[in-house]
Structure 1
Amino acid sequence: MQDPAPSRPPTAVVLGGTGCIGRHVCTAFARHGYRVVVVARRPAPHVAEHMFRPLDLLTASAAELDALFRDADVRASVVVNATDMAGATDLTSAADGGAGRAAELLAANEGLARTLVAALEGNPGRPRLVHIGTIHEYGPGQAGVPLHEEIEPRPANAYADAKLAASRTLLDAACAGRVDGVALRLVNTCGPYPTPAGFPGKLLPRLRAARQGAELSVRVVDARRDWIDVRDVAEACVLAAERPVSGRVFNIGSGIAVPMRELVAHCLSAAGLPDSGVTEEDRPGHGGVRGLGADWIQADIRLARDLLGFAPRFGLRQSLQDMWDAGATSR
């Protein structure tokens, strides 16, 4: 008798897999033994080792996604929505822009969530959907009080409102049994290859210029925010894909509210620059580093710890050092 053919490993389809978070999600699933399929408009060298499927997720239909997930070469076991449909270089700008911009953000984020639900609800394999949202869906927090999952969300801007609508679309469908899925609400991210839209990503080229002799002046607000390394985010996605939970939302963060001045000090240290040229703006929201609606962000991550087994591995200092080192070697 012939030995039975070995079973194929599970497949993780990463929507937005070429992005700043998506690339790390691809790496994490591959490290855990998954076949990875990257879905984006264009391929990218940093995910070239994975299977690639070109698709514009802003315009893709449920039928197109359904066909992709069922394709014989794919057969999705997990689908990760790692897209960030801000459509702007600066997330703060994405949060503004009037009614027209708000409608555009809502259509992009909640529209993709509806399309994903429609594509997955008839799939006989019941792929697990992991949706990446944002801590800003809760709206402004209270100083000294961690944000937990039972708080009633009150988003303070168009971007957060659109992300909340997408999360609710998925969670409502999961609670109704139409799909198998969970949502992760991320705090601010840092680590290797940061998004240019976030504060570390904006600071990085200025640090490089300062290393070449340019004057460096950084103004930060007197605020505290929670930061999580993108590699810890990616690991949380794997945990969320594998744990027997559905219809739940989990906060993913470090659980520590860090002064912005401390964050900048770590960045300067990583770049080998003196801790100077930094001033604090004592009136949050009036200049300096603008946030997306909160001067204090601290996630309560106990639910993710208890149900997913999540625990951050990278401290902030190490994360920012790795960010600098990765940027130095990729130029």
Structure 2
Amino acid sequence: MYYLQGQTMETIARHLGVSRSSVSRLLAHARETGLVRISVAAAPGTRGTLAGQINDLFGVRASVVPVPDVDTEVNRLHNVALVAAERLVELMEPGAVLGVAWGNTTAEVTRNIPHVHFPGSVVVQLNGAANASQSGLPYADSIISQAADAFGSRMVHFPVPAFFDYPETKQALWRERSIRSVLQTIESATVALFGVGALAANLPSHVYSGGYLEPQELQDAKTDGVVGDVCTVLIREDGSTQMDLNKRASGPTPATLQKIPHRLCVVSGASKALPLLGALRAGVATDLVLDDAAARTLLDLARMRSGHPRTMVR
């Protein structure tokens, strides 16, 4: 009556013999439980628009979210996450395997996923979350669980450190059958959801504020030209990832991500534009949702910096 017939809440209340507030609560319940979904089809970025320019430069399907400049970084992220959650639902299907990388951005996206069940689907954690002081399980589990609950999916956790102390430990653990099973699930993923971490961002990336790297390791990474990370794999501005620290990282490399058919990257804030430039040059994304400030800064950087934006460095 409300969505299809266009009737007012007052008219519906009279028809049902209930109060207007009861109708309002019913409508809110329908949205929250997924009985009613409202989606806005993303128009393809036309030439000259921010989305169109990003599409042309990097070959991705971009959606640019307009956010008032007066908004806080938290509100900016929330607005971007709402659009990204809808895009993620578009990419899902029955039997899909969704790989999710933990982080502040994906946490906000999964909090806003509407409840739409996809029978036979799986949600798998893309990167380990433990560090020297904590298991990281509650944080990563909350993100994975929210996506799995919304989609009615089976969960697969990845119980390893974000960064190993020694490359040899990672190599040995990667041979274990229990870990191989998780890695094979990741390799079978059909959809990936991830953000971009920045060494310097207005809303600090969890991997840099959560004690996953020592201060000296962070300094060495900056000296090596690292601007951020994708799935806790450190990345330079040119898209390259070859470095000793990444030999200890548990996240998927750009080459592994590129095997996943649909890869949704979500970015909020202009301070993440530089690592996003590196991520796009590495070819990790097929779909991109970002705010307009990040989009403008990304395009400015692409024009200012040397090199060719479409070049993918593996």
Q: TM-score, normalised by structure 1?
A: 0.26
Q: Point out the structure with the larger helix share.
A: 2
Q: TM-score, normalised by structure 2?
A: 0.27
